[in-house]
Structure 1
Protein backbone atom coordinates (compact mmCIF):
# COMPACT_ATOMS: atom_id res chain seq x y z
CA UNK A 1 0.00 0.00 0.00
CA UNK A 2 1.44 3.38 -1.00
CA UNK A 3 1.88 6.36 1.30
CA UNK A 4 -0.71 8.18 -0.81
CA UNK A 5 -3.20 5.37 -0.23
CA UNK A 6 -2.47 5.32 3.49
CA UNK A 7 -2.90 9.07 3.65
CA UNK A 8 -6.24 8.84 1.83
CA UNK A 9 -7.41 6.07 4.14
CA UNK A 10 -6.44 8.17 7.13
CA UNK A 11 -8.46 11.10 5.85
CA UNK A 12 -11.45 8.84 5.24
CA UNK A 13 -11.21 7.44 8.77
CA UNK A 14 -10.95 10.93 10.21
CA UNK A 15 -13.97 12.07 8.21
CA UNK A 16 -15.94 9.04 9.37
CA UNK A 17 -15.00 9.74 12.98
CA UNK A 18 -15.99 13.39 12.59
CA UNK A 19 -19.36 12.38 11.14
CA UNK A 20 -19.91 9.95 14.03
CA UNK A 21 -19.02 12.55 16.63
CA UNK A 22 -21.28 15.09 14.93
CA UNK A 23 -24.17 12.63 14.92
CA UNK A 24 -23.61 11.91 18.61
CA UNK A 25 -23.50 15.63 19.41
CA UNK A 26 -26.68 16.28 17.47
CA UNK A 27 -28.43 13.41 19.24
CA UNK A 28 -28.02 15.29 22.50
CA UNK A 29 -30.69 17.72 21.28
CA UNK A 30 -32.50 15.95 18.41
CA UNK A 31 -34.35 12.67 18.05
CA UNK A 32 -35.50 10.99 14.86
CA UNK A 33 -39.04 9.90 14.11
CA UNK A 34 -37.82 6.28 14.28
CA UNK A 35 -36.35 6.81 17.75
CA UNK A 36 -39.49 8.46 19.06
CA UNK A 37 -41.78 5.77 17.68
CA UNK A 38 -39.69 3.10 19.41
CA UNK A 39 -39.77 5.01 22.71
CA UNK A 40 -43.41 6.11 22.86
CA UNK A 41 -44.12 3.88 25.85
CA UNK A 42 -40.99 4.71 27.80
CA UNK A 43 -42.28 6.18 31.11
CA UNK A 44 -39.32 8.56 31.26
CA UNK A 45 -40.12 10.09 27.87
CA UNK A 46 -42.55 13.02 27.87
CA UNK A 47 -43.84 14.37 24.56
CA UNK A 48 -45.12 17.92 24.13
CA UNK A 49 -46.65 19.44 21.01
CA UNK A 50 -46.24 23.18 20.48
CA UNK A 51 -48.08 24.10 17.28
CA UNK A 52 -49.54 27.36 16.03
CA UNK A 53 -52.45 26.22 13.83
CA UNK A 54 -55.63 26.02 15.95
CA UNK A 55 -57.09 22.53 16.26
CA UNK A 56 -54.11 20.67 14.81
CA UNK A 57 -53.41 18.88 18.10
CA UNK A 58 -57.07 17.94 18.57
CA UNK A 59 -57.25 16.55 15.03
CA UNK A 60 -54.53 14.06 15.87
CA UNK A 61 -51.18 14.10 17.66
CA UNK A 62 -48.31 11.80 18.51
CA UNK A 63 -49.60 9.25 21.05
CA UNK A 64 -49.04 10.41 24.62
CA UNK A 65 -48.29 14.01 23.67
CA UNK A 66 -49.74 16.88 25.67
CA UNK A 67 -50.53 20.23 24.10
CA UNK A 68 -48.91 23.58 24.91
CA UNK A 69 -50.45 26.71 23.38
CA UNK A 70 -47.44 28.93 22.80
CA UNK A 71 -49.41 32.21 22.96
CA UNK A 72 -50.95 31.43 26.36
CA UNK A 73 -49.03 28.62 28.08
CA UNK A 74 -45.51 29.81 27.27
CA UNK A 75 -46.03 33.54 27.75
CA UNK A 76 -47.13 35.78 30.61
CA UNK A 77 -50.84 36.65 30.39
CA UNK A 78 -50.34 40.28 31.49
CA UNK A 79 -46.93 41.59 30.45
CA UNK A 80 -45.11 40.87 27.21
CA UNK A 81 -42.78 38.25 28.58
CA UNK A 82 -42.24 34.53 28.74
CA UNK A 83 -44.19 32.55 31.33
CA UNK A 84 -43.07 33.11 34.91
CA UNK A 85 -40.95 30.55 36.74
CA UNK A 86 -43.92 29.49 38.88
CA UNK A 87 -46.33 29.24 35.95
CA UNK A 88 -43.84 27.33 33.80
CA UNK A 89 -43.08 24.84 36.57
CA UNK A 90 -46.79 24.26 37.14
CA UNK A 91 -47.29 23.77 33.39
CA UNK A 92 -44.52 21.19 33.16
CA UNK A 93 -45.66 19.28 36.22
CA UNK A 94 -49.19 19.11 34.83
CA UNK A 95 -47.67 17.70 31.64
CA UNK A 96 -46.05 14.92 33.67
CA UNK A 97 -42.47 16.16 33.39
CA UNK A 98 -40.14 14.87 36.12
CA UNK A 99 -36.59 15.83 37.00
CA UNK A 100 -35.36 12.68 35.24
CA UNK A 101 -37.61 12.97 32.19
CA UNK A 102 -36.45 13.20 28.61
CA UNK A 103 -38.76 15.81 27.07
CA UNK A 104 -39.40 15.72 23.33
CA UNK A 105 -40.87 18.84 21.71
CA UNK A 106 -42.40 18.95 18.25
CA UNK A 107 -44.88 21.04 16.31
CA UNK A 108 -46.11 22.35 12.98
CA UNK A 109 -44.52 25.11 10.87
CA UNK A 110 -41.14 23.38 10.78
CA UNK A 111 -40.92 23.27 14.57
CA UNK A 112 -40.77 27.09 14.89
CA UNK A 113 -42.85 27.19 18.04
CA UNK A 114 -41.45 23.91 19.34
CA UNK A 115 -38.03 25.58 19.08
CA UNK A 116 -39.48 28.56 20.95
CA UNK A 117 -40.53 26.07 23.62
CA UNK A 118 -37.02 24.57 23.70
CA UNK A 119 -35.63 28.07 24.19
CA UNK A 120 -37.97 28.72 27.15
CA UNK A 121 -36.94 25.36 28.64
CA UNK A 122 -33.32 26.46 28.26
CA UNK A 123 -33.93 29.83 29.93
CA UNK A 124 -35.37 28.00 32.93
CA UNK A 125 -32.55 25.47 33.11
CA UNK A 126 -34.59 22.34 32.36
CA UNK A 127 -32.26 19.54 31.23
CA UNK A 128 -32.60 16.75 28.69
CA UNK A 129 -34.90 18.53 26.26
CA UNK A 130 -34.84 17.57 22.57
CA UNK A 131 -36.63 18.45 19.34
CA UNK A 132 -38.22 15.85 17.08
CA UNK A 133 -36.17 16.39 13.94
CA UNK A 134 -38.53 17.30 11.10
CA UNK A 135 -41.40 17.92 13.49
CA UNK A 136 -45.02 17.10 12.93
CA UNK A 137 -44.77 17.32 9.13
CA UNK A 138 -42.19 14.52 8.92
CA UNK A 139 -44.11 12.30 11.36
CA UNK A 140 -47.28 12.69 9.28
CA UNK A 141 -45.50 12.31 5.93
CA UNK A 142 -44.16 8.96 7.08
CA UNK A 143 -47.67 7.79 7.96
CA UNK A 144 -46.92 7.27 11.62
CA UNK A 145 -49.62 6.85 14.25
CA UNK A 146 -51.71 9.80 15.43
CA UNK A 147 -54.08 9.85 18.39
CA UNK A 148 -57.01 12.23 18.89
CA UNK A 149 -57.44 11.48 22.60
CA UNK A 150 -56.24 14.11 25.05
CA UNK A 151 -53.36 12.87 27.16
CA UNK A 152 -53.65 13.31 30.94
CA UNK A 153 -50.39 12.09 32.47
CA UNK A 154 -49.69 11.70 36.16
CA UNK A 155 -48.38 14.94 37.66
CA UNK A 156 -44.62 15.33 37.49
CA UNK A 157 -42.12 16.66 40.01
CA UNK A 158 -39.75 18.74 37.84
CA UNK A 159 -38.11 21.72 39.54
CA UNK A 160 -37.64 24.79 37.36
CA UNK A 161 -34.73 27.13 38.03
CA UNK A 162 -34.88 30.91 38.02
CA UNK A 163 -34.76 32.42 34.54
CA UNK A 164 -31.23 32.88 33.24
CA UNK A 165 -31.35 36.32 31.60
CA UNK A 166 -27.91 35.72 30.09
CA UNK A 167 -29.57 33.34 27.62
CA UNK A 168 -31.96 36.01 26.37
CA UNK A 169 -31.37 39.23 24.41
CA UNK A 170 -33.21 42.47 25.16
CA UNK A 171 -33.58 45.73 23.23
CA UNK A 172 -30.57 47.41 24.92
CA UNK A 173 -28.36 44.45 23.93
CA UNK A 174 -29.46 44.70 20.31
CA UNK A 175 -29.10 48.48 20.23
CA UNK A 176 -25.57 48.21 21.64
CA UNK A 177 -24.68 45.81 18.82
CA UNK A 178 -26.31 48.07 16.23
CA UNK A 179 -24.32 51.06 17.45
CA UNK A 180 -21.12 48.97 17.68
CA UNK A 181 -20.89 49.42 21.43
CA UNK A 182 -20.60 45.65 21.84
CA UNK A 183 -18.78 42.96 19.87
CA UNK A 184 -21.89 40.92 19.17
CA UNK A 185 -23.01 39.57 15.79
CA UNK A 186 -26.65 39.92 14.76
CA UNK A 187 -28.40 37.31 12.61
CA UNK A 188 -31.70 38.34 11.01
CA UNK A 189 -33.42 35.11 9.97
CA UNK A 190 -36.42 36.66 8.18
CA UNK A 191 -37.03 36.57 4.44
CA UNK A 192 -34.89 38.83 2.20
CA UNK A 193 -37.93 41.04 1.52
CA UNK A 194 -38.45 41.59 5.27
CA UNK A 195 -34.75 42.18 5.80
CA UNK A 196 -34.51 44.69 2.95
CA UNK A 197 -37.66 46.51 4.06
CA UNK A 198 -39.71 45.66 0.97
CA UNK A 199 -42.41 44.18 3.20
CA UNK A 200 -43.16 44.77 6.87
CA UNK A 201 -44.03 41.14 7.65
CA UNK A 202 -45.07 37.92 5.93
CA UNK A 203 -48.46 38.11 4.24
CA UNK A 204 -51.43 37.59 6.54
CA UNK A 205 -49.73 38.14 9.90
CA UNK A 206 -51.05 40.58 12.47
CA UNK A 207 -47.94 41.58 14.43
CA UNK A 208 -46.51 44.57 12.58
CA UNK A 209 -43.99 47.37 13.05
CA UNK A 210 -44.28 50.97 11.85
CA UNK A 211 -40.79 50.75 10.32
CA UNK A 212 -39.48 48.15 7.89
CA UNK A 213 -35.90 47.04 7.41
CA UNK A 214 -33.26 45.51 9.65
CA UNK A 215 -30.95 46.26 12.54
CA UNK A 216 -27.67 47.87 11.37
CA UNK A 217 -24.91 45.30 11.10
CA UNK A 218 -27.24 42.29 10.99
CA UNK A 219 -26.57 39.61 8.39
CA UNK A 220 -29.50 37.87 6.71
CA UNK A 221 -29.66 34.08 6.86
CA UNK A 222 -33.31 33.01 6.37
CA UNK A 223 -34.21 30.23 8.80
CA UNK A 224 -34.95 27.81 5.93
CA UNK A 225 -31.27 27.63 5.03
CA UNK A 226 -30.76 25.55 8.18
CA UNK A 227 -32.99 22.67 7.08
CA UNK A 228 -33.14 20.00 4.41
CA UNK A 229 -36.10 19.45 2.07
CA UNK A 230 -37.88 17.23 4.64
CA UNK A 231 -37.59 19.85 7.40
CA UNK A 232 -34.82 18.10 9.31
CA UNK A 233 -31.79 20.13 10.34
CA UNK A 234 -28.79 20.03 8.06
CA UNK A 235 -25.65 18.36 9.40
CA UNK A 236 -23.30 20.32 11.63
CA UNK A 237 -20.78 20.52 8.78
CA UNK A 238 -23.39 21.97 6.42
CA UNK A 239 -24.65 24.42 9.04
CA UNK A 240 -21.13 25.68 9.70
CA UNK A 241 -20.73 26.44 5.99
CA UNK A 242 -24.09 28.24 5.79
CA UNK A 243 -23.24 30.63 8.60
CA UNK A 244 -19.52 30.94 7.90
CA UNK A 245 -20.46 32.30 4.46
CA UNK A 246 -21.69 35.49 6.18
CA UNK A 247 -18.97 35.61 8.81
CA UNK A 248 -20.73 33.72 11.61
CA UNK A 249 -18.26 31.14 12.93
CA UNK A 250 -18.83 31.12 16.68
CA UNK A 251 -15.83 33.29 17.48
CA UNK A 252 -18.11 36.05 18.79
CA UNK A 253 -21.40 36.08 20.74
CA UNK A 254 -24.49 36.00 18.52
CA UNK A 255 -28.03 37.35 18.79
CA UNK A 256 -30.77 35.95 16.56
CA UNK A 257 -34.00 37.80 15.79
CA UNK A 258 -37.02 37.65 13.48
CA UNK A 259 -40.47 39.26 13.86
CA UNK A 260 -41.83 37.83 17.13
CA UNK A 261 -39.05 35.43 18.15
CA UNK A 262 -40.32 32.06 16.92
CA UNK A 263 -38.38 31.71 13.66
CA UNK A 264 -35.30 33.04 15.38
CA UNK A 265 -35.71 30.34 18.04
CA UNK A 266 -35.29 27.79 15.25
CA UNK A 267 -31.99 29.40 14.18
CA UNK A 268 -30.99 29.80 17.85
CA UNK A 269 -31.41 26.03 18.18
CA UNK A 270 -29.24 25.34 15.12
CA UNK A 271 -26.48 27.70 16.21
CA UNK A 272 -26.45 26.94 19.92
CA UNK A 273 -27.57 23.37 20.32
CA UNK A 274 -26.17 21.79 17.17
CA UNK A 275 -23.08 23.97 16.62
CA UNK A 276 -22.43 24.93 20.24
CA UNK A 277 -22.03 28.67 19.60
CA UNK A 278 -22.71 31.38 22.19
CA UNK A 279 -26.19 32.52 21.11
CA UNK A 280 -29.06 34.50 22.62
CA UNK A 281 -32.53 34.80 21.14
CA UNK A 282 -34.13 38.25 20.94
CA UNK A 283 -37.81 37.45 21.40
CA UNK A 284 -38.81 41.12 21.19
CA UNK A 285 -37.53 40.92 17.62
CA UNK A 286 -38.75 43.28 14.89
CA UNK A 287 -42.13 43.98 16.47
CA UNK A 288 -40.25 45.64 19.32
CA UNK A 289 -37.23 47.03 17.51
CA UNK A 290 -39.21 48.29 14.49
CA UNK A 291 -41.61 50.13 16.79
CA UNK A 292 -38.98 51.55 19.14
CA UNK A 293 -38.23 55.28 19.16
CA UNK A 294 -34.68 56.49 18.65
CA UNK A 295 -33.15 53.31 17.21
CA UNK A 296 -31.25 53.12 13.90
CA UNK A 297 -32.84 51.17 11.03
CA UNK A 298 -31.38 50.09 7.69
CA UNK A 299 -33.96 50.08 4.90
CA UNK A 300 -32.61 49.09 1.49
CA UNK A 301 -36.02 49.21 -0.21
CA UNK A 302 -36.60 52.89 0.55
CA UNK A 303 -39.73 52.50 2.64
CA UNK A 304 -39.62 54.93 5.51
CA UNK A 305 -42.93 54.89 7.33
CA UNK A 306 -46.03 52.73 7.09
CA UNK A 307 -45.00 51.28 3.74
CA UNK A 308 -44.80 54.65 2.01
Structure 2
Protein backbone atom coordinates (compact mmCIF):
# COMPACT_ATOMS: atom_id res chain seq x y z
CA UNK A 1 0.00 0.00 0.00
CA UNK A 2 2.84 2.41 0.86
CA UNK A 3 4.49 1.63 -2.48
CA UNK A 4 1.24 2.41 -4.30
CA UNK A 5 0.90 5.72 -2.45
CA UNK A 6 4.51 6.62 -3.25
CA UNK A 7 3.88 5.77 -6.92
CA UNK A 8 0.70 7.89 -6.95
CA UNK A 9 2.48 10.82 -5.32
CA UNK A 10 5.37 10.56 -7.80
CA UNK A 11 2.93 10.41 -10.72
CA UNK A 12 1.15 13.54 -9.51
CA UNK A 13 4.49 15.34 -9.22
CA UNK A 14 5.43 14.35 -12.77
CA UNK A 15 2.05 15.46 -14.13
CA UNK A 16 2.28 18.76 -12.25
CA UNK A 17 5.78 19.34 -13.59
CA UNK A 18 4.58 18.55 -17.15
CA UNK A 19 1.67 20.98 -16.84
CA UNK A 20 3.99 23.65 -15.47
CA UNK A 21 6.47 23.10 -18.29
CA UNK A 22 3.74 23.12 -20.93
CA UNK A 23 2.23 26.37 -19.70
CA UNK A 24 5.64 28.04 -19.62
CA UNK A 25 6.40 26.96 -23.18
CA UNK A 26 3.06 28.00 -24.65
CA UNK A 27 1.55 31.19 -23.32
CA UNK A 28 -1.78 30.76 -25.14
CA UNK A 29 -4.10 28.29 -26.83
CA UNK A 30 -3.61 30.43 -29.93
CA UNK A 31 -0.01 29.23 -30.18
CA UNK A 32 1.44 25.88 -31.23
CA UNK A 33 4.92 24.60 -30.48
CA UNK A 34 7.47 23.48 -33.05
CA UNK A 35 7.22 19.97 -31.59
CA UNK A 36 3.42 19.89 -31.98
CA UNK A 37 3.64 21.15 -35.54
CA UNK A 38 6.22 18.58 -36.62
CA UNK A 39 4.00 15.82 -35.23
CA UNK A 40 0.98 17.20 -37.11
CA UNK A 41 2.47 17.92 -40.51
CA UNK A 42 0.48 15.06 -42.05
CA UNK A 43 -2.77 15.95 -40.30
CA UNK A 44 -5.21 16.81 -43.13
CA UNK A 45 -7.09 19.23 -40.86
CA UNK A 46 -3.97 21.35 -40.29
CA UNK A 47 -3.34 23.97 -42.96
CA UNK A 48 0.09 25.56 -42.71
CA UNK A 49 0.74 29.01 -44.19
CA UNK A 50 4.03 30.89 -44.35
CA UNK A 51 3.89 34.70 -44.30
CA UNK A 52 7.46 35.98 -44.60
CA UNK A 53 8.67 39.43 -45.57
CA UNK A 54 12.04 38.67 -47.16
CA UNK A 55 11.81 37.69 -50.85
CA UNK A 56 12.77 34.12 -51.72
CA UNK A 57 12.71 32.75 -48.17
CA UNK A 58 9.84 30.36 -48.85
CA UNK A 59 11.30 29.26 -52.19
CA UNK A 60 14.69 28.43 -50.62
CA UNK A 61 13.01 26.02 -48.23
CA UNK A 62 9.83 25.90 -46.17
CA UNK A 63 8.03 23.64 -43.71
CA UNK A 64 6.47 20.72 -45.56
CA UNK A 65 2.93 21.35 -46.76
CA UNK A 66 3.02 25.11 -46.22
CA UNK A 67 1.32 27.45 -48.65
CA UNK A 68 2.99 30.79 -49.31
CA UNK A 69 1.16 34.09 -48.72
CA UNK A 70 3.06 37.18 -49.91
CA UNK A 71 2.04 39.86 -47.45
CA UNK A 72 2.38 42.94 -49.71
CA UNK A 73 0.33 41.45 -52.55
CA UNK A 74 -1.84 38.71 -51.03
CA UNK A 75 -2.84 40.35 -47.74
CA UNK A 76 -3.26 43.97 -48.82
CA UNK A 77 -5.01 45.94 -51.52
CA UNK A 78 -2.01 46.93 -53.64
CA UNK A 79 -3.59 50.20 -54.82
CA UNK A 80 -5.56 51.53 -51.84
CA UNK A 81 -3.02 50.76 -49.06
CA UNK A 82 -5.75 48.79 -47.35
CA UNK A 83 -6.19 45.24 -46.12
CA UNK A 84 -7.17 42.58 -48.64
CA UNK A 85 -10.81 42.56 -49.75
CA UNK A 86 -13.09 39.79 -48.50
CA UNK A 87 -13.67 38.05 -51.83
CA UNK A 88 -9.97 38.06 -52.68
CA UNK A 89 -9.04 36.74 -49.24
CA UNK A 90 -11.67 34.00 -49.38
CA UNK A 91 -10.33 32.86 -52.75
CA UNK A 92 -6.79 32.87 -51.36
CA UNK A 93 -7.80 30.75 -48.35
CA UNK A 94 -9.71 28.24 -50.46
CA UNK A 95 -6.72 27.88 -52.76
CA UNK A 96 -4.61 27.08 -49.67
CA UNK A 97 -7.07 24.33 -48.74
CA UNK A 98 -8.69 26.13 -45.81
CA UNK A 99 -12.17 24.89 -44.88
CA UNK A 100 -14.47 25.83 -42.01
CA UNK A 101 -13.16 22.92 -39.91
CA UNK A 102 -9.46 23.54 -40.60
CA UNK A 103 -6.83 24.47 -38.03
CA UNK A 104 -4.70 27.18 -39.64
CA UNK A 105 -1.11 27.58 -38.44
CA UNK A 106 0.76 30.70 -39.51
CA UNK A 107 4.52 31.22 -39.32
CA UNK A 108 7.14 33.44 -40.91
CA UNK A 109 10.55 35.06 -40.72
CA UNK A 110 11.59 38.16 -38.70
CA UNK A 111 10.05 36.86 -35.48
CA UNK A 112 6.62 36.28 -37.03
CA UNK A 113 5.96 39.99 -37.65
CA UNK A 114 4.03 39.41 -40.84
CA UNK A 115 2.66 36.07 -39.68
CA UNK A 116 1.11 38.05 -36.81
CA UNK A 117 -0.12 40.59 -39.36
CA UNK A 118 -1.74 37.63 -41.12
CA UNK A 119 -3.30 36.45 -37.83
CA UNK A 120 -4.76 39.94 -37.36
CA UNK A 121 -6.35 39.86 -40.83
CA UNK A 122 -7.64 36.32 -40.22
CA UNK A 123 -9.27 37.67 -37.04
CA UNK A 124 -10.81 40.64 -38.86
CA UNK A 125 -12.48 38.18 -41.24
CA UNK A 126 -13.44 35.96 -38.28
CA UNK A 127 -11.66 32.82 -39.51
CA UNK A 128 -11.94 30.24 -36.69
CA UNK A 129 -9.16 28.20 -35.12
CA UNK A 130 -6.10 30.16 -36.26
CA UNK A 131 -2.77 29.58 -34.49
CA UNK A 132 0.71 31.10 -34.62
CA UNK A 133 3.81 28.91 -34.56
CA UNK A 134 5.55 30.08 -31.39
CA UNK A 135 9.01 31.34 -32.30
CA UNK A 136 8.26 31.20 -36.01
CA UNK A 137 10.61 30.13 -38.73
CA UNK A 138 13.73 31.11 -36.77
CA UNK A 139 12.97 28.73 -33.91
CA UNK A 140 12.10 25.92 -36.34
CA UNK A 141 15.42 26.37 -38.13
CA UNK A 142 17.43 26.76 -34.91
CA UNK A 143 16.11 23.38 -33.78
CA UNK A 144 17.24 21.92 -37.13
CA UNK A 145 13.76 20.76 -38.03
CA UNK A 146 13.19 19.79 -41.67
CA UNK A 147 12.54 22.16 -44.57
CA UNK A 148 11.63 21.24 -48.12
CA UNK A 149 11.72 22.74 -51.59
CA UNK A 150 8.70 20.71 -52.73
CA UNK A 151 5.36 22.46 -53.12
CA UNK A 152 2.56 20.04 -52.31
CA UNK A 153 -0.64 20.10 -54.36
CA UNK A 154 -3.52 21.22 -52.16
CA UNK A 155 -7.17 20.23 -52.46
CA UNK A 156 -9.23 23.45 -52.52
CA UNK A 157 -11.06 24.33 -49.31
CA UNK A 158 -14.61 25.51 -48.83
CA UNK A 159 -14.38 28.26 -46.22
CA UNK A 160 -16.93 31.08 -46.47
CA UNK A 161 -16.04 34.40 -44.85
CA UNK A 162 -18.48 36.63 -43.02
CA UNK A 163 -18.38 40.40 -42.83
CA UNK A 164 -15.13 41.91 -41.48
CA UNK A 165 -14.90 42.89 -37.81
CA UNK A 166 -13.34 46.34 -37.94
CA UNK A 167 -13.41 46.68 -34.16
CA UNK A 168 -9.91 45.14 -34.29
CA UNK A 169 -8.61 48.06 -36.34
CA UNK A 170 -7.88 51.68 -35.51
CA UNK A 171 -7.74 54.51 -38.03
CA UNK A 172 -6.13 57.93 -38.09
CA UNK A 173 -9.16 59.68 -36.62
CA UNK A 174 -9.32 57.15 -33.77
CA UNK A 175 -5.68 57.76 -32.88
CA UNK A 176 -6.06 61.53 -33.20
CA UNK A 177 -8.99 61.39 -30.75
CA UNK A 178 -6.75 59.56 -28.27
CA UNK A 179 -3.90 62.04 -28.77
CA UNK A 180 -6.28 64.94 -28.12
CA UNK A 181 -7.76 63.14 -25.08
CA UNK A 182 -11.21 62.93 -26.61
CA UNK A 183 -11.13 59.15 -26.24
CA UNK A 184 -9.95 57.26 -23.16
CA UNK A 185 -7.77 54.55 -24.68
CA UNK A 186 -4.26 53.38 -23.88
CA UNK A 187 -1.76 53.83 -26.69
CA UNK A 188 1.41 51.77 -27.19
CA UNK A 189 4.22 52.65 -29.58
CA UNK A 190 6.12 49.40 -30.10
CA UNK A 191 8.98 50.84 -32.16
CA UNK A 192 12.54 51.19 -30.95
CA UNK A 193 13.39 53.80 -28.31
CA UNK A 194 15.22 55.91 -30.93
CA UNK A 195 12.17 55.93 -33.22
CA UNK A 196 9.87 56.74 -30.33
CA UNK A 197 12.04 59.64 -29.12
CA UNK A 198 12.47 61.00 -32.64
CA UNK A 199 16.23 60.41 -32.92
CA UNK A 200 15.61 58.48 -36.18
CA UNK A 201 12.75 58.71 -38.65
CA UNK A 202 12.73 54.96 -39.32
CA UNK A 203 15.00 51.92 -38.96
CA UNK A 204 18.03 51.98 -41.23
CA UNK A 205 17.42 50.87 -44.81
CA UNK A 206 13.63 51.04 -44.92
CA UNK A 207 11.72 52.75 -47.71
CA UNK A 208 8.51 53.79 -45.95
CA UNK A 209 9.21 57.11 -44.26
CA UNK A 210 7.35 59.87 -42.47
CA UNK A 211 8.38 63.53 -42.84
CA UNK A 212 8.34 63.98 -39.08
CA UNK A 213 9.84 61.93 -36.26
CA UNK A 214 8.58 61.27 -32.77
CA UNK A 215 5.45 59.63 -31.40
CA UNK A 216 1.75 60.15 -30.83
CA UNK A 217 1.18 62.23 -27.67
CA UNK A 218 0.27 60.04 -24.72
CA UNK A 219 1.75 56.86 -26.18
CA UNK A 220 3.97 54.69 -23.99
CA UNK A 221 6.95 52.90 -25.53
CA UNK A 222 7.18 49.10 -25.20
CA UNK A 223 9.38 47.81 -28.05
CA UNK A 224 7.88 44.67 -29.58
CA UNK A 225 10.99 42.61 -28.73
CA UNK A 226 10.27 43.01 -25.02
CA UNK A 227 7.50 40.43 -25.42
CA UNK A 228 9.69 37.56 -26.60
CA UNK A 229 12.32 35.26 -25.14
CA UNK A 230 15.78 34.72 -26.62
CA UNK A 231 14.49 32.05 -29.03
CA UNK A 232 11.76 34.33 -30.39
CA UNK A 233 8.89 32.60 -28.59
CA UNK A 234 6.47 34.65 -26.52
CA UNK A 235 7.19 35.15 -22.84
CA UNK A 236 4.78 33.62 -20.33
CA UNK A 237 1.38 35.17 -19.71
CA UNK A 238 2.47 36.38 -16.28
CA UNK A 239 5.65 37.97 -17.65
CA UNK A 240 3.64 39.77 -20.32
CA UNK A 241 1.16 41.04 -17.74
CA UNK A 242 4.00 42.48 -15.69
CA UNK A 243 5.69 43.98 -18.76
CA UNK A 244 2.65 46.00 -19.81
CA UNK A 245 1.41 46.74 -16.29
CA UNK A 246 4.73 48.49 -15.66
CA UNK A 247 3.64 51.21 -18.12
CA UNK A 248 0.02 51.29 -16.97
CA UNK A 249 -1.48 48.82 -19.44
CA UNK A 250 -3.58 46.37 -17.44
CA UNK A 251 -6.58 45.66 -19.67
CA UNK A 252 -8.88 48.03 -17.78
CA UNK A 253 -9.49 50.07 -20.93
CA UNK A 254 -9.08 49.51 -24.68
CA UNK A 255 -5.62 49.65 -26.21
CA UNK A 256 -4.35 50.80 -29.60
CA UNK A 257 -0.93 49.63 -30.81
CA UNK A 258 1.11 51.07 -33.67
CA UNK A 259 4.55 50.92 -35.27
CA UNK A 260 5.70 52.17 -38.69
CA UNK A 261 3.53 50.24 -41.16
CA UNK A 262 1.58 47.95 -38.84
CA UNK A 263 3.56 44.72 -38.94
CA UNK A 264 5.57 44.96 -35.70
CA UNK A 265 2.48 46.26 -33.92
CA UNK A 266 0.59 43.15 -35.09
CA UNK A 267 3.04 41.10 -33.04
CA UNK A 268 2.20 43.17 -29.94
CA UNK A 269 -1.50 43.04 -30.84
CA UNK A 270 -1.21 39.23 -30.73
CA UNK A 271 0.48 39.31 -27.32
CA UNK A 272 -2.13 41.62 -25.82
CA UNK A 273 -5.21 40.19 -27.54
CA UNK A 274 -4.50 36.49 -27.92
CA UNK A 275 -2.39 35.87 -24.83
CA UNK A 276 -3.64 38.43 -22.30
CA UNK A 277 -7.18 38.75 -23.65
CA UNK A 278 -7.22 42.57 -23.66
CA UNK A 279 -9.40 44.72 -25.92
CA UNK A 280 -6.85 45.77 -28.54
CA UNK A 281 -6.89 47.50 -31.92
CA UNK A 282 -4.03 47.58 -34.40
CA UNK A 283 -3.40 50.93 -36.09
CA UNK A 284 -2.01 49.63 -39.38
CA UNK A 285 -1.62 53.12 -40.85
CA UNK A 286 0.90 53.61 -38.04
CA UNK A 287 3.69 56.18 -38.18
CA UNK A 288 3.88 56.38 -41.99
CA UNK A 289 0.32 57.72 -41.94
CA UNK A 290 0.32 59.67 -38.69
CA UNK A 291 3.77 61.22 -39.15
CA UNK A 292 2.84 62.38 -42.66
CA UNK A 293 -0.53 63.87 -41.69
CA UNK A 294 -0.88 67.64 -41.72
CA UNK A 295 -1.71 69.36 -38.45
CA UNK A 296 -1.73 66.38 -36.08
CA UNK A 297 -0.01 66.75 -32.69
CA UNK A 298 3.35 65.01 -32.28
CA UNK A 299 5.74 64.59 -29.37
CA UNK A 300 9.38 64.75 -30.49
CA UNK A 301 11.74 64.39 -27.55
CA UNK A 302 14.88 64.63 -29.71
CA UNK A 303 13.73 67.73 -31.56
CA UNK A 304 14.75 66.46 -35.01
CA UNK A 305 13.62 68.31 -38.13
CA UNK A 306 13.20 66.50 -41.44
CA UNK A 307 15.53 67.86 -44.12
CA UNK A 308 13.76 66.43 -47.14
CA UNK A 309 16.70 64.23 -48.14
TM over 0.5, shorter chain: yes
Would the aligned equivalents of 1:211 and 1:306 in 2 still touch at CA under 8 Å? no
Between the two proteins, the alignment pairs up a number of residues equal to 295
* Secondary structure at the counterpart of residue 209 of structure 1: coil
Corresponding residue number in structure 2 for 1:213: 214
2:217 corresponds to 1:229: no
Would the aligned equivalents of 2:26 and 2:134 in 1 still touch at CA under 8 Å? no
2:271 corresponds to 1:270: yes
Shift of 1:151: 2.9
In structure 1, stretches of 5+ residues that fail to align are: 1-14
Corresponding residue number in structure 2 for 1:12: none
Corresponding residue number in structure 2 for 1:39: 40
Tell me the distance in 2 between the aligned counterparts of 1:31 and 1:151. 22
Would the aligned equivalents of 2:26 and 2:32 in 1 still touch at CA under 8 Å? no
Tell me the distance in 2 between the aligned counterparts of 1:278 and 1:27. 16
Q: Structure 1, residues 164-198: CA drift from partner, whole Å, max 9, x if none?
A: 11110000100000000000010000000000000
Would the aligned equivalents of 1:105 and 1:130 in 2 still touch at CA under 8 Å? yes
Corresponding residue number in structure 2 for 1:93: 94
Corresponding residue number in structure 1 for 2:177: 176
* Secondary structure at the counterpart of residue 203 of structure 1: coil
Tell me the distance in 2 between the aligned counterparts of 1:16 and 1:240. 23
Tell me the distance in 2 between the aligned counterparts of 1:169 and 1:144. 38
Tell me the distance in 1 between the aligned counterparts of 2:194 and 2:187. 17
2:82 corresponds to 1:81: yes
Shift of 1:28: 1.8
Would the aligned equivalents of 1:212 and 1:307 in 2 still touch at CA under 8 Å? no
Corresponding residue number in structure 1 for 2:247: 246
| 121 and 102 in structure 1: CA distance in 2 versus 1, 3 angstrom threshold | same
* Secondary structure at the counterpart of residue 48 of structure 1: strand
| 231 and 43 in structure 1: CA distance in 2 versus 1, 3 angstrom threshold | same
Shift of 1:294: 1.2
Tell me the distance in 2 between the aligned counterparts of 1:283 and 1:276. 20
Coordinate RMSD, CA, aligned? 2.0
In structure 2, stretches of 5+ residues that fail to align are: 1-15
Runs of 4+ in 1 over 2 A off after TM superposition: 15-27, 304-308
